[in-house]
Every structure is written in structure tokens, then in C-alpha cells.
Amino acid sequence: MNIEELVRFCRAHGFEVPTEWESGTTPPTVLIIDDDPDLLRAIIPNLEHPGRRVVGADDVAQAGILLMKYRPDLVILDLHLPGTDGIRIASILRKESELSGTRIVVLSGYIDEVVQEAMKDMHVDYYINKPPDFDRLREIVDELLDPVNTPGEAEGKVVE
């Protein structure tokens, strides 16, 4: 479904249409998936920026809804989630044609060579250990959302 179809659907059913949908341009979107609500509350304001949407999901169901609703440009993903794991979510991102170009940052307290090997086909841009350095995380997000950077340039970097 493209943005025009979504606008038509919303209007037809009496739903509010966000301003950015009206203009046909949507801001870059970052989706953070982590089951720690305190971490979400800390990261989201640190990544918010004019012209950027930052949303968070603390469970798999909410993550699925937000993935389909926003088609994020970047997903920051915890590996250990109730009901599934980050490897499965990354795999889904790569298999779904509308999400296959999504940049991925793994944010976890359990990053090792085994995890990196298991995720090598997922084309993860960065692995960041918890707790993150918020300034460095913001730099990485800015880098990955910069249209000059193409997928694969940062692939697999580990940030301690």
C-alpha cells in the first residue's frame, strides 16, 4: 500500500490524516524495539530531531503494528524479547519487500561472535552494547539516515 492509498483509506473511514501524509513526504522514521520501557523512555528523546519521527515498541505485537504503520527507515533492535528474538525480527525485515531496505542497529547486552555470525545475512549496520552511549547512538542514527550513506557501508560494526 502506498501513501496515497493510505490517505484515501483514512479519509474514507473518517480517520485523521497526518499532515506529512498529505504533503506526500514522510519524515525519516526510527523504530526502537526493546522490552525495557525505561530504556525506551531514555532513548526516544535523545534521538528525536526536527524532521524525524522516533517511535518505540516494548513488545512484539506493538513492533509489528508500528513496522506496518510507519515502514521505518531504521530499526534499533534488542536481541532478547519476550515471544521472539531480534534475529527473527531482522529476518522478517529482510524478507518483506517493503521493509528490506530498512537499516538495522542491534542494541543488546549480549553481542558476541556467535550473534554476529547468526545475523551475518541480516546485513546489520551496527551492533551496540547496552547501555548505549547516547551521543554515539545519535551519531550512528544520523549517519544511517543520511541519504548519502548507502546500505552496507557500515555493515557489522561493533560499538562497545
Q: Range of 137's domain? A: 27-159
pLDDT at residue 111 greater than cutoff 80? no
Query: 20 lies in a domain?
Result: no
Confidence of residue 20 (pLDDT cuts 50, 70, 90): low
CATH code: domain of residue 93: 3.40.50.2300
SS3 106: strand
Report pLDDT digits (tens) over 76-101. 999 888 888 788 888 888 888 888 88
Edge-first strand listing for the sheet containing 74-77? 53-57, 29-33, 74-77, 103-108, 126-129, 157-159
Query: 18 lies in a domain?
Result: no
- d(CA 62, CA 83) in angstroms, rounded, equals 12
Alpha carbon distance, N-terminus to C-terminus of the chain: 39
Q: What is the pLDDT of residue 21?
A: 66
Give the residue-averaged pLDDT of 30-59.
Answer: 93
Residue-averaged pLDDT of the chain: 83
Query: 13 lies in a domain?
Result: no
- Percentage of the residues of the chain whose pLDDT score is greater than 70: 85
Q: What is the pLDDT of residue 12?
A: 87
Residue 52: φ, ψ to 5°: -135, 135
Q: What is the pLDDT of residue 6?
A: 78
Give the residue-averaged pLDDT of 56-76.
Answer: 92
Query: 44 lies in a domain?
Result: yes
Global pTM reads 0.78
Query: 45 lies in a domain?
Result: yes
User: Is pLDDT larger for residue 146 or for residue 121?
Assistant: 146
Give the residue-averaged pLDDT of 118-134.
Answer: 84
User: Is pLDDT larger for residue 82 or for residue 46?
Assistant: 46
Domain count, the chain: 1
Query: 8 lies in a domain?
Result: no
- d(CA 52, CA 64) in angstroms, rounded, equals 20
Give the residue-averaged pLDDT of 23-31.
Answer: 80
